[in-house]
Structure 1
């Protein structure tokens, strides 16, 4: 499936192409971007030249310096915004490209920066100006490096532009660099996952380097008081509720806004959150996820097209891996929490996980998953300690039931599953996946099928373990529930306790079973969604679920 690239290639994208063709593809073709400390520093460094000043007239500038000059050439197929253009003093003009960092250790400019200045000279030359050199200014060391440029260098940059367009026409991005020192400082390392992709493709033997989350301070904000209102004041999200002091949090620290029941949200809040790529999630008072809203859809169009096209064997293979991962994690949770767990139950679950990987159809896979779930929930009460004996007894009598939940454990499981679905929906939106188009759960009105698919392996790891831990640690009691309308529901206080426990669970760090580095469950959700996306676009051959031992 060929990709149609824009007619004009930005000069700065040639810098990215020389630095890393995969980075170039992500940014120009897929429209993917992530801020980092380096990109923020770059914006600060460029603040003096981001506003256009001066004009170019005739063969010489009208002023001694022109900033933020936009030039384009259909003949060259290039477009660029030049940071600064100076009068060369000899009838020539000189483009000056400002870089926030420093030149290479030997004092020479970086090759990617040189190619970008070549492109700027080519644009000026095509516009009719005399140019024989360019300047790279490195702000960190306050160095100006002059680079002589002739027709040879212009021919070189046009060759790079042709190569970049050829890469852009591919239906999938180039493979990552192998063990490159360029990757750790790249702003898109968390999206690209170079080491993880290379490890899954067996392209390198070194263990993957730890992924650093793009913003580890991001956390969901929950608003669950009826009649509360959410507004903005001074760059902070402000929650006002009757009988309590206002609660404020910096907008930069908000990963999601989750509202339960009748909560008012101002238009300013929605506009600001959506501009930052932060989704707003709406729940019923009792915790059912009703829907969500986001700003502009992700620009990763090729992924959505590939996601829709995944069907037949490809879809079934991913579904088999997800279900097998879920069954293995259920088995692990039972073995950890039931001292006298029979070898027969453990062996049965292990056998069902193996059968899931060989299922010949979605219907057969569904039957295998159902059998594993029945066996698992038949033994679920055995994981509850003395502190929750009464709750365990009621659950054992009812079994796993929902809508309405007949007992506290069923109420807890339903509530935490809704929180987990919410988080995976948010992850899907961030990656560029459509949460409604799944590979295992069939599409149905209002059902986020892909989110339900991806959450399967995390049900025991995040949701069930949260419920078991809360009950066994005495964090929740019968006083946190109320019975009405034939069902059992969490009270407001109970819901707050569950959210706090669930968020703590997400922050737990584990050794990733495939990549071996330590990583939080919160970040694992993102990693797994990106692995699924890589399988859908054909970059990886198979989906590898998150399974623990």
Structure 2
């Protein structure tokens, strides 16, 4: 924690002092990194504040205090280094009392929680600094309909000064504080899925037990795919509507849209873009064949320090790249051993394991590329053993792995699934605050989303390759789902829908995370791994820990 920043804002919001006392890491993530995630509790809190958040009334000057109640009063003071918005100010016998509304209840002894108390003290300090006579603050708990007084004394003033100073010192650090260990506070924290407290503690060996499943459940929102040429995506109220030639083909709630994926000539209205960006849903533009052309999103993530560290990792992150290549080779080997008909040759399995070991022993970039290429040749030489249809198998064997244009149906579906996968990893990078273009393994050339491609490596075999094998072996796609153009093969519109549906089934299915031992969907794992990489980049953990299946 030796490195510090010198540009901590002059004023600390009183609400952030509440977070600091509750959990210093939460305070850092919210105030310094500007990370936020809504939850049922935070939405209920907004409902509790629905009246007091509507400003009405003017606070009379100190020399003319009136008995009128004033709500939503903004206050600041440079000497205290604090700012706040007081929910309500009551006047009694020439004194003022700040009233803070809380959704919960006081502790068992009827006293306010420490975090709530420090926020009330900050409000008392700012009212007094504005010239008003203050003897106490009030916390009104909605769950019990109980008002609890917080005395404003000299001891309270000293306590507040100490907490403000400690908070500013934590905010000046380059890295956030370490997570709490096995704390009940984490289980209902809205930022648990961003903070990853138990996961970080497991990786740092700060706890011996497996990670609790405090990661929020998979969101109800899902990607929306618009593949029909000539379609129009617009927004109406809180809904996203897809039409073609004046006829409605889809009508979805905005909150159900995780991202919008448009293929080919599909129009998206400015209003729809604005609504989607406001909801944190990026819009991804793909070619008709599934090639990711680009994306649009709202304001970039506010964690500037993470982006700075990502630039450093781009230049020095060979160890991250080595772990990614290692995981990719191990997962390729596992898939071959699971699905090869007649088994994979022992020599091939042994050679791939040796290459995986060498990847982490020799993290120099040119060597990694050679190791990855050697493993890929072994893998795709044996890939056809996992295909059931002799005609499909022989067509792939005749060509091997070819990308542009794909000469056979297997290569065609592989390329399409890789495009869908990189699209999901771009979304994960944007959610975490990582620049999808600045990688540690793939070079940022020709507009490639290099970091998304890096994170994709460990998931290629267990997601994209697995989907490709299943759609052929289960006869989900047939010859009628492909068309030949020149020397290449393309999926028809019907074929793309079939493969997309199979891909969505895979990424929404669950696996047991090999490190944390709880179950979650592949799509959620994408974001978890992006957050683990971000933690390694800023120095919270020593190294990136990829997903390696057995």
Report the TM range for the smaller structure's normalisation: over 0.9
**Is 1:102 the equivalent of 2:105?**
yes
**Is 1:206 the equivalent of 2:212?**
no
1:182 equivalent among 181, 185, 195: 185
Deviation (angstroms), 1:245: 4.2
Partner SS for 1:310 = helix
Distance 2:39 2:409 in 1: 44
Specify whether residues 377 and 471 from structure 1 end up closer, same or farther in structure 2 by C-alpha distance, changes over 3 A only: same
Aligned to 2:166: 163
1:129 equivalent among 111, 127, 132: 132
The more displaced of 98-107 and 184-193 is 98-107
Aligned to 1:374: 377
Contact 1:257–1:279 (8 Å) recurs in 2 = yes
Partner SS for 2:335 = helix
Deviation (angstroms), 1:398: 0.3
Q: How does 1:262-281 map to 2 (within 5 A)?
A: 262-281=265-284
Contact 1:121–1:154 (8 Å) recurs in 2 = no
Partner SS for 1:157 = helix
Q: How does 1:23-422 map to 2 (within 5 A)?
A: 23-59=26-62, 61-62=65-66, 64-88=68-92, 90-213=93-216, 216-242=219-245, 245-311=248-314, 314-338=316-340, 339-385=342-388, 388-422=389-423
Contact 1:54–1:62 (8 Å) recurs in 2 = no
Distance 1:226 1:485 in 2: 22
Distance 2:363 2:205 in 1: 28
Deviation (angstroms), 1:127: 0.5
The more displaced of 432-441 and 233-242 is 233-242
**Normalization by structure 2: what TM-score?**
0.97
Contact 1:54–1:63 (8 Å) recurs in 2 = no
Q: Provide, for residues 2-37 of structure 1, a one-character-per-residue CA deviation record: whole Å limited to 9, x for no partner.
A: 332211100110000000000000011111111111
Q: Provide, for residues 521-549 of structure 1, a one-character-per-residue CA deviation record: whole Å limited to 9, x for no partner.
A: 11110110001000000001011110111
**Normalization by structure 1: what TM-score?**
0.97
CA-atom RMSD in angstroms = 1.2
Q: Provide, for residues 481-523 of structure 1, a one-character-per-residue CA deviation record: whole Å limited to 9, x for no partner.
A: 0001321000000000111110110011111111111111111
Q: Provide, for residues 417-449 of structure 1, a one-character-per-residue CA deviation record: whole Å limited to 9, x for no partner.
A: 000000000100000000111111111131111
Specify whether residues 113 and 143 from structure 1 end up closer, same or farther in structure 2 by C-alpha distance, changes over 3 A only: same
Aligned to 2:519: 518
Partner SS for 2:442 = coil
Contact 2:511–2:521 (8 Å) recurs in 1 = yes
Deviation (angstroms), 1:58: 2.6
Number of residues of Structure 1 aligned to a counterpart in Structure 2: 545
Deviation (angstroms), 1:311: 4.7
Distance 1:191 1:154 in 2: 34
Aligned to 2:510: 509
Q: Provide, for residues 368-391 of structure 1, a one-character-per-residue CA deviation record: whole Å limited to 9, x for no partner.
A: 000000000011111011xx3211
Aligned to 2:429: 428
Distance 1:118 1:245 in 2: 55
What are the ranges of 5 or more consecutive residues in structure 1 without an aligned counterpart?
A: none
**Is 1:451 the equivalent of 2:452?**
yes
Aligned to 1:8: 11
Partner SS for 2:184 = coil
Deviation (angstroms), 1:206: 2.0
Deviation (angstroms), 1:275: 1.1
Deviation (angstroms), 1:243: 8.8
Partner SS for 1:221 = strand
Deviation (angstroms), 1:137: 0.4
Deviation (angstroms), 1:63: 5.0
Aligned to 1:541: 542
Deviation (angstroms), 1:358: 1.1
Partner SS for 2:471 = helix
What are the ranges of 5 or more consecutive residues in structure 2 without an aligned counterpart?
A: none
